[in-house]
Amino acid sequence: MSIMSLRLPKSMYSQVKETAKEEGISMNQFITLAIAEKLATLNTVDYLEIRAKRGSREKLLAVLEKAPDIEPEAYDKL
């Protein structure tokens, strides 16, 4: 593990402290989870951008052509 000093505005510190307490976790765990969620989001965006470059409209339409032309089940209708 590495140690990092973090400076937060008082209002943010209070919010983190209170939310961590409500969640039943330490402030350290709360901040670690927040960073992990942000990194996961950024990594997902990168992954989707790479995958999007591999696709094409033609490929999408070819796959959709294979789908049967039937009415959806009642539970699938909006």
Q: What is the pLDDT of residues 18-39, one digit of tens each?
A: 999 999 999 999 999 999 999 9
7 pLDDT above the threshold of 90: yes
Supply the pTM of this predicted model: 0.63
How sure is the predictor about 1, in pLDDT bands with cuts at 50, 70 and 90? confident
41 pLDDT above the threshold of 90: yes
pLDDT in tens, 51-72: 999 989 999 999 999 999 999 8
3-class DSSP string for the chain? CCCCCCCCCHHHHHHHHHHHHHHCCCHHHHHHHHHHHHHHHHHHHHHHHHHHHHCCHHHHHHHHHCCCCCCCCHHHCC
